[in-house]
């Protein structure tokens, strides 16, 4: 997903990164971390390699993010912010009619996972989080809690009469379908025509899940 404007990360060491230059430097580090993860993979994700990729001294990176865990948390915050900004932009130009509006949400997500950049980033991010002893489950839950919340907000607008528990279940199932396609989409077929059919069926299923009609699929 393309870069969007964001405020300074909550994971920046308290008392730093408050000036305009500080915010820019903190974001530069997070952007470099994201690019390194996509290009080199989780095994090369270290503070030293991130600093080299950002064109900064290691001490400069550690001034903003003292530990790798701090940087990973900032990367998660950045990911959440990117998607929230993308949803805002998408919904600003979406049709007012509820179903047509939500179709845009489904289309956006399916187009997003069609991107090699998106698939590469999330597969490497999952692997990176699994290396953080004791924190991997918490961080994964945090990542998908944000995803489910944002999808839930869109489903609530689609079906205002649905109970909160229903909305959360639907959002969870929709998130699971979308994230599963990140992994298996490429393995399904090399045929562009078949991939198009797969994604068309995924769109239909996503709508059925979100409307609470999954049993009708």
Per-residue model confidence as pLDDT tens digits over 156-211: 999 999 999 999 999 999 999 999 999 888 888 889 999 999 999 999 999 999 99
Asked whether the beta carbons of 172 and 126 are under 8 A apart, the reply is no
Per-residue model confidence as pLDDT tens digits over 91-115: 999 999 999 999 999 999 999 999 9
Look at residue 77 and tell me whether its pLDDT is greater than 60: yes
In a domain? residue 179: yes
**DSSP H helices in 159-191:** 164-188
Domain boundary among 67, 82, 102: 67
Q: How far apart are CA 34 and CA 50, in angstroms?
A: 9
Q: Are 99 and 197 contained in the same domain?
A: yes
Number of domains present in the structure of the chain: 2
* pTM of the model as a whole: 0.84
Q: Are 128 and 45 contained in the same domain?
A: no
- CATH code: domain of residue 135: 1.10.357
Q: Are 49 and 111 contained in the same domain?
A: no
Give me the pLDDT at residue 138, please.
Answer: 83
Q: Are 98 and 199 contained in the same domain?
A: yes
In a domain? residue 79: no
> pLDDT tier at 3 (50, 70, 90 boundaries)?
very low
Q: Which domain holds residue 6?
A: 1-67
Per-residue model confidence as pLDDT tens digits over 36-46: 999 999 999 99
Q: How many residues does the chain have?
A: 217
Q: Please provide the DSSP assignment of 52-74 as one string.
A: HHHT--HHHHHHH-SSHHHHHHH
Q: Are 119 and 188 contained in the same domain?
A: yes
Chain position carrying tokens 């399904």: 188
Q: Are 103 and 48 contained in the same domain?
A: no
Asked whether the beta carbons of 6 and 27 are under 8 A apart, the reply is yes
Asked whether the beta carbons of 144 and 175 are under 8 A apart, the reply is yes
In a domain? residue 110: yes
Give me the pLDDT at residue 134, please.
Answer: 65
Burial of 217 per CB tally in 10 Å (0-12, 13-18, 19+): exposed
Q: Mean pLDDT across the chain, nearest whole number? A: 89
Q: Retrieve residue 198's tokens.
A: 């797969």
In a domain? residue 87: no
Q: Are 148 and 188 contained in the same domain?
A: yes
Distances (CA, A) of 152 to 146, 155, 179, 203: 10, 5, 15, 17
Quick one: CA torsion of 32, 35, 36, 41, rounded to 10 degrees?
Answer: 150
Give me the pLDDT at residue 185, please.
Answer: 86
> pLDDT tier at 137 (50, 70, 90 boundaries)?
confident
Asked whether the beta carbons of 122 and 179 are under 8 A apart, the reply is yes
């Amino acid at each position: 997903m393309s870069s969007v404007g964001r405020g300074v990360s909550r994971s920046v060491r308290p008392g730093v990164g408050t000036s305009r230059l500080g915010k820019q430097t903190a974001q530069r580090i997070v952007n470099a971390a994201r690019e390194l993860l996509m290009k080199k993979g989780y095994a090369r994700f270290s503070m030293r390699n991130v600093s080299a990729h950002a064109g900064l001294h290691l001490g400069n990176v550690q001034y903003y993010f003292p530990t790798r865990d701090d940087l990973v948390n900032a990367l998660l915050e950045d990911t959440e912010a990117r998607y929230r900004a993308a949803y805002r932009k998408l919904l600003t130009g979406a049709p007012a009619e509820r179903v047509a509006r939500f179709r845009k949400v489904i289309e956006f997500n399916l187009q997003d996972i069609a991107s090699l950049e998106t698939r590469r980033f999330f597969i490497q991010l999952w692997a990176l989080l699994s290396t953080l002893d004791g924190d991997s489950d918490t961080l994964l839950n945090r990542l998908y809690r944000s995803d489910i919340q944002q999808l839930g907000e869109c489903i609530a607008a689609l079906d205002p009469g649905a109970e909160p528990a229903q909305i959360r279940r639907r959002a969870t199932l929709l998130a699971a379908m979308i994230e599963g396609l990140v992994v298996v989409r490429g393995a399904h077929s090399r045929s562009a025509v078949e991939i198009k059919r797969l994604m068309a069926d995924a769109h239909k299923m996503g709508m059925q899940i979100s409307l609470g009609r999954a049993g009708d699929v």
